[in-house]
Structure 1
Amino acid sequence: MDTEKIFQLIDRVLPFEACLYHQILPLSIEGNTLHLGMVMLDDVAALDYARRMVGYQNYLLAPQSLSSESHHTILTTYLNYSQNRPTPPKPPKPPEPPKKPDLHSKETLVVESPDELEWEECHKPAARSLQNTIPDPHHALPALAISTRYSEEPIALLSQLPPSRLIQELLGRVLGNGIGRLFFDRQEKHGRILWSQNGVLQSVIEGVALSKFQALLDELKQLTHLPLTPVTEVQQVEIERSYQRDRVLLRLRITPSANGEQATLQVLRGAALKFYQKQQLTTLSRDALSIAQKLRQKMDELHNHTQTATPLTVDQLQPDMVPALNQVLQIVEQQLTELKQIRDSYNKEN
C-alpha cells in the first residue's frame, strides 16, 4: 500500500475521524473508482457513510478487506505524520476598516461527523433554539452530572488520575458545542485516548495502563447502561441527557479487537445535535412510509385472495387476524394524529 497516497486521500476525501470511527481507509483511486479498505466488509453503516461522502465528489466505491492491524498501523503513522508536518505560514492580511456590529448576522459552523452529519450547518450563537433547551420540567431529560477540577490543565497531564475522576475530566472537554469525540484505542501493552472537537484532533493521552483503560470503558458502559461483560461483537447505544440546560446526545460504540475492547464516544450538542436529529427524522419518515406502502400492498393481496377463495379456505384464516390488524391500525392512527398535532404546533411557533 502506498501510504503517501493514502495520507493524501485522508486529507482530501475521507477524514481521519471517519476512518478511525468506521474502521475504513481510502487506499487508492483509479479513474472515478475509490478503493476502500474495510476492517468489517459487512458494516452497512460504514459503507453507507463512505458511499455518501465520496458521492459528493463523483466517485464510485470498490470495497475490499483490510486487516485490523494494517488499519491501526496506517492511522497511527498518519497521526504522527499530521502532528509533525510543518504548518504553512499564513499570508499577512491587510488591515480592515472597523465595522459596526451586525446584531442580525449569522455564523456558519463547519462540523465533521463520521456518521450521518453533513459538512456544513447553520448555528446561531446568540439565541438558542427551543428544540435545544429544556424549559419544561414535565419533559425534562435526566441531568448529566459532570464535575471537572482540572479544566485548565493539558489533557495529557491527567493520566495519573483515577478512572472515575479521569472520565469526568474527559467528558467535561468533549461536551463543548458541536461534535466532541473520545477514541479509546487499545494496543497490545497499553492504551491511548484521542480527543477531537468538530473533527479536529485536540490532544492524546499515551501509555494508559490496560487496567485503567478497561476501567474507563466500564465507566462509559455504566453511564450508558451497558453490561460490563466484554463484548464479542460491535455494540452501539445512544442516550440523551440534559447538560447546562442543553440537550446532549451521547453515542457509544464498543468494538472488540485482537487486543480486547476499544470504544468511541461521540457527543452531539447545539446545532450539530439539531442537524443530526433532523436527519434521523428524515430517515425514520422514509422508512415508515416504505413500511406503510408494503402493508397496503399485502392488504390488497389478502383482500384479492379472500375474494377468489372458497368459503372453506376463508374460514381457515386465523380467527384473531382481523382484530389484531384493526388494533394495529388504530394505534397507528392515534400516532398519526399526535404527529400532526406536533407538526402544527411547531409550524405555529416558527
Structure 2
Amino acid sequence: MFDFFKKDKTPPPTPDVPASTPAPETPAAPAPTESAAENKLSWTERLKNGLAKTRSQLGNQLASLFGGGKIDEDVYEELETILLTSDVGVAATQALLEQIRQRVKRQSLSDTTQLKQALKDALLELLAPLEKPLVTTTHQPFVIMLAGVNGAGKTTSIGKLANLFQAQGKSVLIAAGDTFRAAAREQLQAWGDRNNVHVVAQESGDPAAVIFDAVNSAKARNIDIVLADTAGRLPTQLNLMEEIRKVQRVIGKALPGAPHEILLVLDANTGQNAISQVKAFDDALGVTGLVLSKLDGTAKGGVIAAIAQARPIPIRYIGVGESIADLRPFKAEEFVDALFS
C-alpha cells in the first residue's frame, strides 16, 4: 500500500544550506502508462522506435552518400555535414572522420557502400567506454542523487528507476528534495503510489533537510536504494549551483561517503546545450553517471557522441519513450545497431 511520509513541521534547516528562489511552477505530469501494444514490444524494438527520428534523418542523408561511388574528399565533406546536422558536434565529428579515414586506408576500402560499416565501427569505438552499468550493491542504503535543469525529466526518471530497481528485487525510498515545486512532489507521490514506494516529502522547507531525513529513514528501515530528487537549476545560476553542492555535503553528513552516485538527467532535445550542462554540473558536483532522456522526441540523438567526446562520463541509462519500461541501461552496441537498422 502507498506509504507517503509527510512531516507536519519543517525541520530546522541545516546551517550550510541557504534558502533559494523557488523555480517556476509547472503542472504535474501524470505517471506514464503503458498500453497493451507497448507491453508486447521487446527492448530492442522499443529502442529502434525511440530512435526513429534520429535514424530517419541520418538514414535519409546517408542513403545517397553510401549508395556507391568513389571515396574522395567530397564524400568526407558531405559526411561531415551530415554528422554535424545530427548534433554529433565538431570535436566528435572530427574524431569520427579521422577514425573512418584510418579504417578506409587500413582496410583498403574504395567504394562508399563500404563506409556505412566503417561509420558504425567508429561510432561504437567512441561510445563503448560510456557503457558502464551502475552497481548499487556496494553500500546499503545506496544513495543516488539526481540533478539537472527543469524539464529534463528528473521526476519521471526517478519513477522509472524505482520500478527498474524493484524489478531487481531491491527496496527503494524516494526523497522529494525539490521542495519548491508542488508539481514535482505530486508526481513523485503518484510514482510512489504506483510502485508501492515510500516517499519522504514536505510542502515547503529546506531540500537538504528532506533528503537528510530520507537517508536516516532508509538506514533505519534497511532500504537498499535512496533516490534523491533535487530542484532543477540552470548551470548559469551560480548561487543555486553552490546550494546543490551544499545539499551534496549534507547527504554526506547523514551517511558518510554518500551520495554514492550522482546522476545528471539530460533532455536529448537540448542538443549541444547538453554538453554545457554536463560540464557545469560535473565541475560542481563530480557527476558519476548520466541519464539521457527523451531520445524518442529528437532527431538529434547524435548528441550522445558529442558527450562521449567532450566529457566521457558513463551513460547509465537512456529513455526512449513515456512508458514505465522505456528507461534501460545504456548499451553501446545496441544503441548503434538501433541507430542504423
TM-score by length of 1: 0.22
Q: Determine which structure has the larger helix proportion and give its number.
A: 2
Which has the greater radius of gyration?
Answer: 1
Q: Determine which structure has the larger strand proportion and give its number.
A: 1
